Structure 1
Amino acid sequence: MSENTADLHPLDDATRLAPGPDGLLAGRTTPAYWNMASPFGGVTAGLLMRAVLDNPERIGTPVSQTVNYCAPIAQGDFTVAVRVVRSGRSVQHFYAEIAQNGTITTNATIICAVRSQTWRHQPATMPDAAPAESLPAMPAGAPVPFIGRYEFRFLEGEPRFGPPLAEPRSPHSLFWIADRPARTLDFVSLAAFCDIFFPRVFQVRGHPVPAGTVSMTSYFHASQAEIDAQGDRPLLARADALRFGDQFCDQFGELWSDAGTLLASTSQIGWFRQ
């Protein structure tokens, strides 16, 4: 992990893996995507996605990913283990885990498939949204470093970091999102974007509280051609939630191409304390 990384995009540096001992992969955290006490959950999802994408046994492209965040990843080195659980002619199941100092911090199941042309129908409709370039970007300076690695342009539900509101507000947000600096979309960055939504408990309270993702499942609806067609242009992101209480809350989101194609949808359960 000592090679020159000056020419790597920060996301590619943060998800870089090298051969390790006993068939494992070796990785290391980077400050660019640091969150409050651990790396941003999206970059962890992207790293596990990369571990599968780089696996020589892989067939097809990602269809779904479930990531369970078991313990914080501390700054420093970690290892990644990947194995094929079951492989058919067109659908393949992977298991992957991150370990650090003898503790499994994160585990994931990732399903890949060889897609074939079939009948298509998209009943979901892209939200109405002004073009990304017509909206101001949220300032890069932020309480945690990873926020500066993304360009947020809000249409609805801009985050608020003031004192708690007397009454809850809507958990809904709508915004354009892009890597900063710009980066061509792939399944690694799409996996990371699936966790780009600020915790909805922050949104309804208008104030950050101790919170974290417990488990996140993402579905990748896009074909490789649809991913490639997006280039480095912003995605439209929509988030909402259903219920908060007894220390846990849900949230769900959608990620749209600027051409109106639903690329991914995601849902998660998280904890909070207040």
Structure 2
Amino acid sequence: MTTMHSFDAAIALQPLGEGRFAGATTPAYANMVGPFGGVTAATALNAVLQHPALLGEPVSLTVNYAAALADGPFEVIARAARTNRSTQHWVMEIVQAGGTVLTATAVTAARRETWSVDELAAPDMPTPDAVGKPNMVAMVEWVRRYDIRITEGAIPTAWDGSGDASRSTLWVRDEPARPLDFCSLAAMADVFYPRVWLRRATRVPAGTVSMTVYFHAGSTQLATVGTGWLKGQASAQAFRNGFFDQTAQVWSEAGQLLATTHQVVYFKE
């Protein structure tokens, strides 16, 4: 008997008809408040990927976290707002207990072969074997669902306000290993802990308000990655008036840029 991977169980949806799907949170991806935001974003994307009207593959995904998703059942609504010859524009919503907890949009497209180049090169990093073992502190349960090996910018061990940079680099893959696809890539774009913790070396409450993921690879390239390692880099550009941005890039182990992402995150003093 084949056991479903914990990630697939977390984003599983049951069709209810007319673009509506039933889902439920799982303890495996619990965060400080509600589930890990990356897995919630992946769930919204999964509704699009399961929709019978789907055209093409994901190009972008934007999710806005309106409220914390509580433990238990929820409903995902996905509709194609417009379908063109080669692109499709989606609107999604996650509803729980009669209220909206997440709004989202996505663009899918029928990709075609064109001239292509990666302008941004992957950072030089020690290999996963050289790092040796997972080293991101598992403050919450969802971190245990990933093998994360930070090579620069680890979570501070002393919260003494001495931080002076916001950049982290790391290796990451599902734990246990799972073949990469659009949903898992969307989730792993969110594995970077809040940049304010590193920049300030002060552990303050923080949470993502909005996140966009741009997919630079199609399903063929993701299949080539398989269960291999991904290389990630994240940094912030400004912290001001209770909000900061967080930008990140994710490459394959071979150095192909798979996705870029940008977030707006709130923090409290």
Same fold (TM over 0.5): yes
- TM-score range, shorter-chain basis? over 0.9
Count, aligned residues? 269
Q: Which moved more, 1:14-23 or 1:67-76?
A: 14-23
1:272 maps to what in 2? Answer: 267
Task: Select which of 82, 91, 98 maps to 1:95.
Answer: 91
Task: Select which of 121, 124, 127 maps to 1:125.
Answer: 121
Give yes or no for contact 2:19–2:79 (8 Å, CA) kept in 1: no
Give yes or no for contact 2:209–2:265 (8 Å, CA) kept in 1: yes
Q: Output the TM-score relative to the length of structure 1.
A: 0.94
- Give the Å deviation of 1:203: 1.4
1:173 maps to what in 2? Answer: 168
Distance 1:248 1:61 in 2: 32
1:37-65 CA-to-partner distances (Å, cap 9, x unmatched) read 11111000111111111111111110000
- Give the Å deviation of 1:141: 6.4
Distance 1:44 1:32 in 2: 13
1:262 aligns with 2:252: no
Distance 1:21 1:173 in 2: 43
Distance 1:139 1:127 in 2: 19
Task: State the percentage of identical aligned residues.
Answer: 42
1:61-89 CA-to-partner distances (Å, cap 9, x unmatched) read 10000000000000111001010001011
1:7 maps to what in 2? Answer: 3
2:143 maps to what in 1? Answer: 147
Gaps of 5+ in 2: none
1:160 aligns with 2:150: no
Q: Secondary structure at the match of 1:192?
A: helix
2:27 maps to what in 1? Answer: 31
- Equivalence map 1:4-83=2 (5 Å): 7-20=3-16, 24-83=20-79
Return closer, same or farther for 1:161/1:83 CA change in 2, 3 Å cut-off.
Answer: farther
Aligned-partner residue type, residue 117 of structure 1:
E
1:194 maps to what in 2? Answer: 189
Give yes or no for contact 1:20–1:79 (8 Å, CA) kept in 2: no
Q: Output the TM-score relative to the length of structure 2.
A: 0.96
Aligned-partner residue type, residue 222 of structure 1:
A
- Give the Å deviation of 1:140: 7.4
- Equivalence map 1:194-233=2 (5 Å): 194-233=189-228
Q: CA RMSD in A?
A: 1.6
Distance 1:198 1:145 in 2: 14
Return closer, same or farther for 1:94/1:201 CA change in 2, 3 Å cut-off.
Answer: same
Q: Secondary structure at the match of 2:183?
A: helix
Task: Select which of 103, 128, 132 maps to 1:107.
Answer: 103
